[in-house]
Structure 1
Amino acid sequence: MDLSLPIDVVENISEKDFKEKYFDPQIPVVIKGLTNGTFAGKNWSLDYFKRTMGHHTVPVYDNRNPNKGSAFTQADLQMKFGEFLDEIRKEGGNNIRMFLFDLFKLNPELSKEFPCPDLASGILGKLGRMFFAGKNTTVRIHYDIDVSNVFHTHFGGKKRVVLFSPAYNSVLASKLK
């Protein structure tokens, strides 16, 4: 049984329309083109991050860890960011990933390269987090306990995202503990 629903895809939406049509009623939307005209949209790539930040040591999570079913896991290993990026590019994929990582803290210049769009201004403009993973990496189903609105900006590769309506929060929260 296919329970999927279409999600609107828009380009260049006004802040007012975004708030009225999507944010206030909590309806997901794909907004294309937000990186157009930014340094990040033209230059950010795995090669760019390796060249500019590859020397930093970063926390890495391994999906083969038997405790990966818990939402409260510690990083499985530490490695240089450049080595991590080389690993996730390997053909066939792998099981390692980084999530909720604040590269902006390591390199404040990144926030100038991709300023937070007006649509996500306010506190979100100060909370940039990044997720990196290789081909075929999966992340367990999870419920964000802070019930945050995620402004996900995708820079490369393919990603499949499954969203649940806030109406199911109580069911998901109890099943995922």
Structure 2
Amino acid sequence: MSHRHQHPVTVVTDGACSGNGTDDARGGWAAIIIAADGSEVVLTGAEAPSTNNRMELMAAIEGLAATPDGSTVDLVTDSSYLARAITDDWLGSWQRRGWKTAGKKPVANRDLWERLLAQLARHEAVQPRLVRGHAGHELNERADRLAQDAAATAEATTPPMDGTASEQMGFDIT
């Protein structure tokens, strides 16, 4: 039985991708985790080739993975793709249809959506809060800069992440 955390944890995420949609696209993600006491942890990672949507999902996956089991999480994102998949139950609909969209096409980024579902299940509650990107939200702007910096470090030889970034780097942040 997991311990329930009374005070919410805030996880601010962002993804970035230079050359999105091209074979040499370089992606980066960032998650800023803020505990109820104000302490914070910053995580970043990179992948090449990648897409902006994959990086948005990786930021959420890694941010949630770094929070204690049973947490109540305020997930701050500028990605409507991520927020709506949770709040509008796209995830549930995709699962019920065998990971197909309403148009009967395979769901893009299924590997990451399944990893996100596993992280969502670990927590008491995860409430996405959609903020407008590049609109002066201080923590979102900071996450954006961190994700951009991470994308700049990605190299075309960086393999797509099969495990979490922490597993690929050889340490455990959970």
TM-score between the two structures when normalised by the length of structure 1: 0.24
Max Rg structure: 1
Higher strand share: 2
Structure possessing the higher relative contact order (Cα contacts under 8 Å, 6 or more residues apart): 2
TM-score normalized with structure 2 length: 0.24
